[in-house]
Structure 1
Amino acid sequence: MSREMEYDGIVLESWSRWMAYGILHNSDMRNLALQFIKQLGEAMHSVNLERNGKTNLQLVYVIGPPRTDKLQEHDFGPEDLQALYDAVDGFSLMTYDHSSPYNPGPNAPLKWIRSTLHLLVGAGSKSRRLGEKIFVGINFYGNDFVMSGGLGGGPIIAHEYLSLLEQHKPVFQWEENSAEHFFLYSDNQNVQHAVFYPTLMSLAMRLEEARTWGAGISIWEIGQGLEYFFDIF
């Protein structure tokens, strides 16, 4: 289908599903899962395109970031990255959704992005080579979290964000540890909220971090951001 529709390839997300079904907790099943991705990439690379500057179909594989400083058995780690390096054209790293309504805070702390990259590609001469196949995930959505009267809230996109600005005219604050802007407001029930949403400054710092590692970026997702976000790319 990719060839018939003149696509350049596919983006595959399966690791999170395999983790949910317990496949990655079994070493034999995990090896079979890695072998599947490898064979898929090799099969796609065998298809000749000769268009759009590409010579074959490409495979981009979606990976989630480790949630702790120490890799768990189900995490996609540096050994997995190296095992699939030749078969996969890029790894879309989901460095967002760091916080949730149950743990409100910044969307994608810069220190967390940096530590995730260090965990995956390491340091030294090999890190640049591995980093070149990483697409650092950058969120174009934000979050509106309830901070009092019970936890709650969730993702917001551009028009919802602009509506909050117009209605509450908040004062922006810079959170140094995460390198993200946020603002506080109280709704009509007098419940306090904290809104974290990308700004040109936060985006610029994440782009610079990606450049440091020789990495690209992947955006989730373009239509959820403000139009002037593209001025910085």
Structure 2
Amino acid sequence: MISDILMPALSMSTGPDRLNPIRLFLDADIVVQAIMLGLLLASVWVWTIILTFSMRVRRIARRCDRYERGFWKADNFEAFHKSAGDGDIAVARVAGAGLSEWRRNAAIRNLDLEGARQRVALAMDSVVGEEAERLADRLNFLATVGSVAPFVGLFGTVWGIMNSFFQIGQQQNSSLAVVAPGISEALFATAIGLFAAIPAVIAYNRFSFRVNGVEARLQRFADRLQPLLTRELEQR
């Protein structure tokens, strides 16, 4: 069935004197074909993660910018949070955790201010960590593809070369014309492995930096809000 799908594209090739990836795939051993397909699917998923993650980080940045601008200008943090804190806003969830803990402590008589300060800080720090973990959830797949895909491609190459040597034994002919096609097909598996791994490694390193940046931004917001809430408790 795969051959039927790819044959029209194969017929459009300019001639046998050029390297044709589709022909390399169709002529490869079934094991090598399975490896190539797996690596291609991994590559598609890697690029899907790259595109969706980039859009998600930009969306988070825009929403946090809008919320923070209004939050620090507000006379009443609680009122602002109730009106603008709905929706998928990471920094609003941090603020909500701090404000919720602040309200619980404000209702306590003979409050231990140092304990209240720590509880408010821990409540926001916990949400900061959860937001960073949620943002970085799919990055593990990029790391896995980046580290494993070259070896999977290499396995396909080894298998293809073994098959080429088997053909030498079957045909009793060790000329380059006999082994070259099989070796080309085998090396194509390694090329696909690198095609999947290189973008995954680059994206993982870049996106890990972006996740750290978002986490640091949320932590700065929490560090700025915590003393303001603590000061409110001291005045009660």
Q: TM-score, normalised by structure 2?
A: 0.25
Q: Pick the structure with more strand per residue.
A: 1
Relative contact order higher in (CA < 8 Å, ≥ 6 apart): 2
Query: In proportion to residue count, which structure has more helix?
Result: 2
Computing the radius of gyration over CA atoms, which structure comes out larger, 1 or 2?
Answer: 2
